[in-house]
Structure 1
């Protein structure tokens, strides 16, 4: 049974490595490349763990296996770098990112020293065990700190993405955010392993959690959209740096007359062209349609309507879908069909927003108005 579990987790992680790598040719190039590297590290870890007992006892092989098994510490590092490139596209690898690999370097040096001491029959077992424990605690602390940084980065991204996208499905990285809270279910048993001898049940918990994490990740990796359109990246990044609360009038970028002109053009476009029916509508696309700049349009929507771009667009979608639900000629449409026709990316997003706006589900609203 252990052999089958080993083959399944090696196969699953290897499959995800290729899926993420193939996605890097399509969207979010750098981020998916580092995500593929992360799954590659997991694959190597599983292979080294599962086949280590069959490897020759020669110290060079033992050393290699020990190093590979300790590459667990690379998981937080590559996770941070992947998420960084998701939320800062098209960012480059920064020099400070090399610091994330220092713990692995320390582990490699420590393993080299441990194997050397063992092969030379040096009586340093107690000293090495103490160092091993200190390193282990340090690595756990390092992992927790990195996971905290990742969660914070994803939370900030979720706020920022509402300024640029009306449909956040596939770009808000909520799946990664949720994954951060599943990671402890996998890592906590690893911590407990160190202190107990009977690891059977804890191993099962870790394996089941790991399988869920792998397949959950795979599903969402293939559902991704380009977070920032490559053709608009320079414009987006330049304008993202302008704080939302900036006093644009004092900066001389817009006056009251220009604001009213943009508002009139915006309302005309929304009424006649209905751009909100495009589920991939972004602030950049709408600004281009109005021949305006992204941060100017964002300022106009925030100040004139007192809501962000995400809520502004979805209010139109909500009203449009309400009309469809009441329209006798549209009763053949399912709730999902109405959601998609109204510009929503999914039925679940539509249901959540509709209930928040009206206090009832779309189905309840439809039944109430068509009795």
Structure 2
């Protein structure tokens, strides 16, 4: 008997520690400097978790029927976890992800429950004149309401699988060691979160109904609580270390092989079509020729040459000018005419870019390679 009492006190202590963990993490996060957007989402999530923990703590000390309204509110807080779980992951992975319509479906379980609570309150206030206090939906229809948590469980699984596959794809093509660490860190966060949900669901819907022996139940509860507390502590550690992943240039969703292939197309079109001969060529026009977006074309050039679009184009123009300066068919052309033929829009630009690329002016280049003297 005394052993069961000691075990019961340990269970109570572990349960209390688990409930107050969100509050401690919230306090630490509030004092964190240089908060990113995902940190603010996490703060909102933890604030809701603190309210949920507060109600859970009251349930330990008070009979459930004495706090009927809080019981119904507690279910709203619980179901809202799906929304915050989804929003937090999206805010880390998607660039400047603030709000999107596909977040609404994760709010449906908590919204539907909120509507049910309002309807229940309205019905009792205006149709039941028996002087009774508010009757909780949780207490009245507990066996039916358990099924409302099914969307939460399914949603967590679906979002977890989506996020895991996205992180796996990002990690596959990631060469930046620092960002790889943050991707791996988020995978741990995801694993710990899903594990906590899985443990709670396993107990609520399976183990608590199967285990009848009180001693075995206490041992099982103690083990699971130790496991959850450990996961929560680890989760807090990784939460605080987590950085946004979208600061990485967007090529993580456009693989290295695809980038190299696109750059090959860019080189081919430069050699065969010579679009650089157009003085007003823009990256948007080149992107249209390639059937790609300007962002991807710019990224392909930058990653393969470490040059900007205009530096890359001007190099081809300089090479073209060098060929024309030595071409016998262009001996009657002036230096300015050669520059214009090569795609430059002025003599000043031609001289400046040519000297930057070759180290000499066009006139000095002519003297150096012994081509016909031009004005």
- Identify the TM-score tier after normalising by the shorter chain: 0.5 to 0.7
Are 2:156 and 2:194, in contact at CA under 8 Å, matched by a contact in 1?
no
Could you tell me which of 169, 176, 189 is aligned with 2:189? 176
Could you tell me which of 209, 212, 235 is aligned with 2:230? 212
2:204 alignment partner, SS class: helix
Cα-to-partner distance string for 1:126-145 (whole Å, 9 max, x where unaligned): x9989654442242243223
Alignment partner, residue 39 of structure 2: 32
Could you tell me which of 95, 105, 130 is aligned with 1:89? 95
Alignment partner, residue 13 of structure 1: 22
CA distance in 2 between counterparts of 1:65 and 1:180 reads 24
Cα-to-partner distance string for 1:320-361 (whole Å, 9 max, x where unaligned): xxxxxxxxxxxxxxxxxxxxxxxxxxxxxxxxxxxxxxxxxx
CA distance in 2 between counterparts of 1:56 and 1:141 reads 28
- Give unpaired runs (5+ residues) of structure 2: 1-8, 272-296, 306-375
1:142 alignment partner, SS class: helix
Cα-to-partner distance string for 1:8-47 (whole Å, 9 max, x where unaligned): 2233211112334444x535x2222222222322222121
- Give unpaired runs (5+ residues) of structure 1: 259-291, 301-371
CA distance in 1 between counterparts of 2:181 and 2:138 reads 49
Alignment partner, residue 304 of structure 1: none
CA distance in 1 between counterparts of 2:25 and 2:192 reads 15
Alignment partner, residue 343 of structure 1: none
CA distance in 2 between counterparts of 1:101 and 1:55 reads 30
Q: Please say if 1:190 is aligned against 2:204.
A: yes
Pair 294,19 (structure 1): closer, same or farther in 2 beyond 3 Å: farther
Pair 210,42 (structure 1): closer, same or farther in 2 beyond 3 Å: farther
1:169 alignment partner, SS class: helix
**How big is the shift at 1:200?**
4.2
Pair 4,128 (structure 1): closer, same or farther in 2 beyond 3 Å: closer
Q: Which has the higher helix share?
A: 2
Whose radius of gyration is greater, 1 or 2? Answer: 2
CA distance in 2 between counterparts of 1:82 and 1:180 reads 12
Q: TM-score, normalised by structure 1?
A: 0.56
Pair 210,114 (structure 1): closer, same or farther in 2 beyond 3 Å: farther
**How big is the shift at 1:211?**
0.9
Are 1:13 and 1:43, in contact at CA under 8 Å, matched by a contact in 2?
yes
1:90 alignment partner, SS class: coil
Q: TM-score, normalised by structure 2?
A: 0.55
RMSD: 4.0
Number of aligned residues: 255
**How big is the shift at 1:241?**
5.8
**How big is the shift at 1:215?**
0.4
Are 1:85 and 1:91, in contact at CA under 8 Å, matched by a contact in 2?
yes
Alignment partner, residue 364 of structure 1: none
